[in-house]
């Protein structure tokens, strides 16, 4: 049997159903398809992917290519619309099935449908692997997902429904194909400017599952930071106040099940605590965001959000530009926005504050903020981003009406000595 492994946000070999479900002797063709319409850099404001995430993705793909190479396989790169590329490959190489990880947002679903149509009679087989709890293990149909996180959490808690880690791939062969004209993802080819690391960046993110697993080991077993996670997770300074797993989770170079089982092992050896529990709690938030998207579809991209609220989309280009570049005059907001602009990263505390400030103080529609985060964040994930933005904007899953982040109070609480602001505003 000949199978194309169509990689999307599943860029790893460990705990990956695309490889674990192969049978010895099968022939495979692992591919990554770059759509130039998506990747070509237009301007800071009109590009889907900015320098920091592009660099992280390039490193991730290099690492995946190396890991496959060590198994005698090759990751092949193609340019074009995924469905068109797949159609051509299926026909040219007598492919029986295309395997991919199922996505849940509009463009990705459209790609899947188009691919399925074009490759027929070959079959597109989709694996549910973007969440810790697989959708078919939920104790309710997705249409009955509670709209409040706490209710969801109470229904799914009790660690029982999480699958074990998947086995490694068996020995398989490579479908042999001629060399393509591109052999890696190079951001410069799409005009994406180089990501120049700011000296003040407090973490050196490097893409790829090798780095992800290194970070996992460090966070649990070398530094034991997990034992203080809940106490430190709202921090702003330094590399270890939170796990930093999100960029690897976002492009699938780290499996959430891997984190979960590492957490359980840690608890068995060192005991459980509020701190270890809270990491599970946050991973549930990540799942919840995706389930919200599965339930509400395209409504997550509308100003009125999942509530269908009457929310006229307002913009003030000058104020927005000041917000984006960290020049609003609000020192806490500016420090956070500069960190995002210059590194591709911002803490969770920072994200909540800058989002609230854009929407509630500057009265600018959250959609614009979400789009800037999409370009800029190294850990951008469509579900986590849009669901969190809707939450802060009051058109999502927040049960409290009119939640407002008082940025002065927040700064006093989370940056009492002004060190974070001093770092980024100097």
Per CB under 6 A, residues contacting ligand FAD are 233, 242-246, 249-250, 282-283, 285-286, 289, 347-348, 351-352, 355, 373, 377, 379-381, 384-385, 388-389, 392
Rounded to the nearest whole angstrom, what is the least distance from the CB of residue 15 to ligand FAD in the complex?
16
Closer CB to ligand FAD, 74 or 356, in the complex: 356
Instruction: Give the tokens for residue 189.
Output: 């080819």
At 101, give phi and psi (nearest 5°). Answer: -90, 135
> Nearest approach, Cβ of 246 to ligand FAD (angstroms)?
3
Compare residues 117 and 154 and give the one whose CB is closer to ligand FAD.
154
Nearer to ligand FAD, 174 or 277 (CB): 277
Q: Pick the closer one to ligand FAD by CB: 181 or 400.
A: 400
CB of 277 to ligand FAD, least distance (A): 13
Q: Looking at beta carbons only, is 116 or 353 nearer to ligand FAD?
A: 353
CB of 285 to ligand FAD, least distance (A): 4
* Choice between 117 and 224, CB closer to ligand FAD: 224
> Is the Cβ of residue 76 or residue 215 nearer to ligand FAD in the bound state?
215
Q: How far is the CB of 229 from ligand FAD (least distance, A)?
A: 7
C-beta separation of 211 from 63 below 8 A: yes
| Least distance between ligand FAD and beta carbon 350 (Å) | 8
We find the least distance from the C-beta atom of residue 25 to ligand FAD, in angstroms, to be: 37
To ligand FAD, the closest distance from the beta carbon of 135 in angstroms equals 17
CA pseudo-torsion sign 153, 155, 157, 161:
negative
Tokens 């188009």, residue?
114
Q: Would you say 76 or 324 has its CB closer to ligand FAD?
A: 324
Enumerate residues 6+ apart whose C-beta is below 8 A from 206.
Answer: 56, 59
Residue 355 CB, shortest distance to ligand FAD, in Å, is 4
CB of 290 to ligand FAD, least distance (A): 9
Nearer to ligand FAD, 102 or 351 (CB): 351
Show the CA angle centred on residue 229, arms to residues 225 and 235, nearest 5°. 105
Give 80 or 239: the residue with its C-beta nearer to ligand FAD: 239
Strand 97-101 and strand 123-127: the pairing is: parallel
Cβ(44)–Cβ(375) under 8 Å? yes
Sign of CA dihedral 417, 245, 375, 189: positive
Cα gap 224→409, rounded to integer Å = 31
């Amino acid at each position: 049997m000949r199978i194309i492994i169509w990689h999307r946000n599943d860029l790893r070999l460990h705990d990956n159903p695309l490889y674990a479900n192969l049978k010895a002797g099968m022939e495979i063709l692992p591919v990554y398809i770059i759509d130039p319409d998506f990747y070509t850099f237009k301007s800071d404001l009109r590009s889907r992917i900015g320098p920091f995430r592009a660099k992280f993705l390039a490193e991730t793909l290099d690492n995946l290519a190396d890991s496959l190479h060590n198994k005698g396989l090759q990751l092949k790169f193609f340019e074009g619309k995924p469905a068109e590329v797949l159609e051509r490959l299926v026909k040219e190489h007598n492919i029986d099935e295309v395997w991919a990880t199922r996505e849940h947002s509009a463009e990705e679903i459209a790609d899947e449908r188009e691919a399925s149509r074009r490759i027929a009679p070959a079959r597109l087989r989709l694996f549910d692997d973007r969440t810790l709890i697989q959708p078919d293990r939920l104790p309710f149909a997705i249409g009955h997902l509670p709209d409040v996180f706490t209710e969801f959490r109470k229904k799914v808690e009790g660690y029982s429904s999480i699958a074990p880690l998947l086995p490694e791939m068996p020995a398989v062969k490579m479908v042999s194909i001629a060399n393509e004209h591109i052999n890696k993802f190079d951001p410069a080819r799409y005009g994406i400017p180089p990501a120049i690391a700011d000296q003040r960046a407090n973490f050196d993110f490097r893409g790829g599952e090798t780095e992800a697993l290194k970070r996992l080991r460090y966070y649990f077993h070398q530094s034991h930071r997990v034992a203080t996670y809940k106490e430190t997770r709202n921090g702003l300074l330094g590399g270890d106040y939170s796990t930093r797993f999100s960029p690897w989770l976002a492009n699938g170079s780290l499996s959430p099940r891997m984190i979960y089982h590492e957490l359980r092992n840690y608890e068995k050896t060192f005991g459980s605590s509020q701190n270890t529990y809270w990491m599970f709690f946050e991973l549930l938030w990540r799942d919840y965001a995706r389930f919200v998207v599965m339930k509400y579809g395209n409504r997550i991209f509308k100003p009125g959000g999942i509530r269908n609220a009457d929310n006229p989309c307002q913009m003030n280009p000058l104020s927005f530009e000041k917000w984006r570049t960290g020049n609003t005059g609000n020192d806490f907001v500016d420090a956070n926005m500069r960190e995002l602009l210059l590194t591709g990263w911002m803490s969770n505390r920072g994200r909540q504050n800058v989002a609230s400030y854009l929407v509630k103080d500057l009265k600018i529609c959250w959609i614009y903020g979400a789009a800037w985060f999409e370009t800029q964040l190294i850990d951008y994930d469509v579900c986590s981003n849009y669901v969190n933005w809707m939450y802060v904007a009051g058109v999502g899953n927040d049960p409290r009406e009119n939640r407002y982040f008082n940025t002065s109070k927040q700064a006093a609480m989370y940056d009492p000595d002004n060190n974070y602001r001093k770092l980024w505003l100097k």
